[in-house]
Amino acid sequence: MSHGARVIRTGVSSGGPAAPPPVTVASSSASSDAELMDGGYFRSCAGMLKVAQMISLLIGFISVNNSSWTDYSAYSFFQIVTMCDLVMILFFYIMHIFRVYRRLTCVSWPLAEFLHYLIGTILLLIGSIVAAAKSYNITGLVAGATFGFLATILCVISMWSSYKVSCITQSTSK
């Protein structure tokens, strides 16, 4: 049962041997997908912002951990929040560097990162306020609370840029 004539195109002419297939842009993009690491993310604004967050959280944790404090519940909460935020930011940093988000498409990674920043920033702000209120002018505790506030500001900037990139550009591209 024929539905009409079909035209089949081949790369071979009737006059000679087949020419090698042309090199296309798709093969160069396939090789960039095969690379293990995304070197551009190290130098990107989002990558450097994540590194700054991790450094400020680590300094805040070390400052509080090496100080003498009497209010165990306030500073243990601050330490737990800073370490959890540090681990989650490191997780998302590794996700971006190794391009895991391209292989695991069942998860909405921009939404997951946005929710992490939302919840982590609120908890970090609460922990920093409590740490600052209970510091009693002890230098290490004040420094820990200060770096906690700095990390909170950096997380707000990341959350805003994540929202701006994932939600606002989607709505304007329609």
What is the rounded CA–CA span in Å between residue 117 and residue 150? 14
Judged by phi (left if over 0) then psi (alpha if -120 to 50, else beta), residue 24 lies in beta
Average pLDDT, whole number, for the chain?
82
Residue range 82-125, pLDDT digits in tens: 999 999 999 999 999 998 888 888 989 888 999 999 999 999 99
Check residue 31 and give its pLDDT: 45
- Residues 120, 84: contact at Cβ < 8 Å? yes
Residue extents of the structural domains in the chain: 47-172
- To the nearest 10 degrees (0 to 180), the angle between helices 45-65 and 139-163 is 160
Q: Distance (Å, rounded) from C-alpha 17 to C-alpha 30?
A: 28
* 129/132 Cα distance (integer angstroms): 5
Whether the predicted model's global pTM rises above the 0.75 cut: no
Contact 126, 50 (CB under 8 A): no
Q: Quick one: the chain helix, strand, coil %, rounded to 5?
A: 70, 0, 30
Q: Give the least confident one: 30-34, 73-77, 141-145.
A: 30-34
Task: Name the token pair of 157.
Answer: 């900037």
